[in-house]
Chains A and B, each alone.
Chain A
């Protein structure tokens, strides 16, 4: 294996990764934005109803439809950052080809079930679109919310494909620089992620952070 093949190979994965990353970030940001809006809407709803006795019409229906954006849009982002939970005790103790073989297997499992959910989630959307069904109370149309499942899962599928190619790449030559894969984390690395998430970008106090 000479250097140029290594580079061109990981270069291909890196290109896919660069393509997917901003889209995943935007999708996840939209989910975050939905959370932000839900917060203000909930607070406004309480105040309008209890103080002014004039609640937002169709509030509950709207929240239900909006749930899909929060539930699904971040799924691929979550996959890239290795945040979907798994039991790493056994796989984490493996090295080299054995590790990558397990990664390829688990990614294939994931690809299969997500593919099924994209196809049949699409059907679910098409039925809703054709029948024009609406929520019971406020009669909002339902299909845009159902469309989020196949769309968000397609992003998820694409991310899994990148990770599959990345794992195969590593299986062929475990000495390569890992590209486009979610590294198995030791619990201490998980802990460090949690710490960073808690404190955010604010400057650390004395005591500081490791890493």
Chain B
């Protein structure tokens, strides 16, 4: 199989058909349980062999893993990942929850509102949704149950609150989006802040409404005194420091995202040492970070091999012209795309789903006239919703894993409320794209 066209007999005469066959082939491989990195890269290789012949195809893909991985922009990923694995050991979760409780517990459903705000705060040092859900299953659920909260609500708020971490910087998934679509990493990280905060407010709002409707499921508590409230603040200062480092460095440009991530990680690392974290645990966090980094980088170069083939096939351009010629307003097409993501996300891992679909979907969305940063936030929000939808909503399984006494069914029922909140958030982001674009545009001046 050295000549072009030796696999299918099509070669470069009809690259579009080769592209379609390749797409279908990869889909079958992924469904058969082939790991995404292998499915994407072998499809890329075989597709390029059909279009260009063996020599050029293998020559091209042989350079891709190294050349695509050794870029400075990607070096922010291991930093964010390491922060995530250390965040729990820095011992800030309990203080965060305490502070949020002192300030917010007087509200109807106050403890649940406090949980949402604390998960959002924890999301500011950790980019990992599942880790956030795991940590708060331990910190917040016992408190809520002790105070007479309905266990469905208590479990649901933690599972859903965990998803906030992926929008609030530092967020690994936003970095991956930026790399794949060749956008500014800093702009995307900055753009996620406000939508993450808005998501948290909408979660809080829906909890308050629910608690007013069913006060027995989420009783309000005695308000704390003002001195008590202010006394709780020093405990959360490390979080404020990390947020200030990451946000201000990107906004004012005094450090690159990697440097900001490194500085943030150093702060969290020192905190973890102060909390008496053992060397063994630090080494373990490094081993886990290295493993996750290898997984994400494999996905990135695997998908980029596939993307190289797609580029030669002209499939993305064909899909784009098909989408733009549809006799439907862009907003309808956008809603269809989001629905497709919602369905796909029920069965696929968030990062895998984004990486496999974006090479085709992204150019079409751009041709429809949408903003690339805005679309990144929307699509990551969609991917996060998938972490709480059945049948494989990982966050719900995590809550159930930490609290086996709360049946999985109850967790899934509990997140129903927050699923509605997420739909509201996405609708808001569709109607008011400024929520996303305001901060990055302010930075660009």
Instruction: Tell me the A residues contacting B by CB distance below 8 Å.
Output: 25, 28-29, 31-36, 38-43, 45-46, 50, 60, 63-68, 70-75, 77-78, 81, 83-92, 102-103, 105-106, 109-110, 112-114, 116-117, 119-121, 123-124, 145-146, 148-149, 184, 187-188, 190-192, 194-195, 197-202, 205-207, 209-210
Main secondary structure of the interface of A (DSSP, over half): helix
Taking CB atoms, residues of chain B closer than 8 Å to A85 are: 35-36, 295, 299, 349, 351-352
Q: A68-B66, A109-B34, A113-B38 are in contact. Are A31 and B142 (CB under 8 A)?
A: no
Contacts of A86 in B (CB 8 A): 30, 33-36
By Cβ-Cβ distance, the 6 closest A-B pairs, closest first, are A120-B62, A42-B262, A74-B294, A32-B286, A91-B33, A191-B397
Q: Nearest Cβ distance between residue A73 and chain B, in whole angstroms? A: 7
Q: Do residues B62 and A191 form an inter-chain contact, with CB atoms below 8 A?
A: no
Complex alpha-carbon distance, A124 and B68, angstroms: 13
Within the complex, what minimum Cβ distance (angstroms) separates A80 from chain B? 10
User: For residue B296, which residue of chain A has the nearest CB?
Assistant: A71
Whether the Cβ atoms of B394 and A192 lie closer than 8 Å is no
Contact status B79-A28, CB under 8 Å: no
Question: Can you list 18 A-B contacts with CB-CB less than 8 angstroms, sorted by A residue number?
Answer: A39-B262, A42-B263, A42-B265, A70-B75, A77-B287, A78-B298, A85-B36, A87-B348, A87-B349, A106-B35, A110-B34, A110-B35, A113-B38, A184-B33, A187-B392, A194-B401, A200-B281, A202-B281
Cβ-based interface call for B71 (8 A): yes
**Apart from A50-B255, A109-B39: 5 A-B pairs, beta carbons within 8 A:** A40-B262, A46-B263, A85-B299, A87-B352, A202-B278
Of residues 335 through 357 on chain B, the ones whose CB sits less than 8 Å from some CB of chain A are: 347-349, 351-352
Residue picked from B269, B398, B403, B404, most chain A C-beta under 10 Å? B398
| Interface window among B82-90, B101-109, B423-431 | B82-90
Q: Is the CB of B291 within 8 A of A28?
A: yes
Chain A residues lying within 8 Å of B287, measured Cβ to Cβ, are 25, 28-29, 32, 77
Q: Is B8 an interface residue (CB 8 A)?
A: no
The answer to whether A207 and B78 touch across the interface, beta carbons within 8 angstroms, is no
Q: Roughly how many angstroms separate A39 CA and B401 CA in the complex, as a whole number?
A: 32
B interface, over-half SS:
helix
Binds A, one of B131-139, B187-195, B413-421: B131-139
Check if B74 sits within 8 Å of A121, measured CB to CB. no
- Which B residues have a C-beta under 8 Å from some C-beta of A? 29-39, 41-42, 45, 58-59, 61-63, 65-66, 69-72, 74-75, 78-79, 81-82, 85, 88-89, 128, 130-131, 134-135, 137-138, 141-142, 249, 254-255, 258-263, 265-266, 269, 277-278, 280-281, 283-295, 297-299, 301, 347-349, 351-352, 391-392, 394, 397-398, 400-404, 408
Q: Are A72 and B79 touching (Cβ within 8 A)?
A: no
CB atoms of B392 and A106 under 8 A apart: no
Chain A residues lying within 8 Å of B59, measured Cβ to Cβ, are: 120, 123
Contact B295 A71 (CB under 8 A): no
- Nearest B residue to A110 via CB reads B38
- Bound: A120/B56 CA distance, A: 11
Chain A residues, Cβ within 8 Å of B294: 28, 31, 70-75, 77-78, 83
Contact indicator B74/A117 (Cβ below 8 Å) = no
Given the known inter-chain contacts A206-B142, A209-B402, please indicate yes or no for A71 contacting B293, CB distance below 8 A: yes
Q: B residues within 8 A CB of A33?
A: 286
Residues of A within 8 A of B269 (CB): 39
Q: Complex formed: what's the CA distance from A189 to B445 in Å?
A: 48
B319 to chain A, nearest CB (A): 22
Residue of A nearest to B266 (CB): A43
Question: In the complex, what residues of B have CB within 8 A of residue A187's CB?
Answer: 391-392, 394, 397
Name A211's closest neighbour in chain B (CB-CB): B401
Q: How far is the CA of A24 from the CA of B80 in the complex (A)?
A: 23
Q: Which of A92, A145, A198 contacts B135 (CB 8 A)?
A: A198
Our pick among B70, B266, B295 for the contact of A83 (Cβ within 8 Å) is B295
Q: Considering residues A92, A105, A124, which has the most beta carbons from chain B within 10 angstroms of its beta carbon? A: A124
Cross-chain contact A194 with B130 (CB below 8 angstroms): yes
Contact B62 A194 (CB under 8 A): no
B32 touches A29 (CB 8 A): no
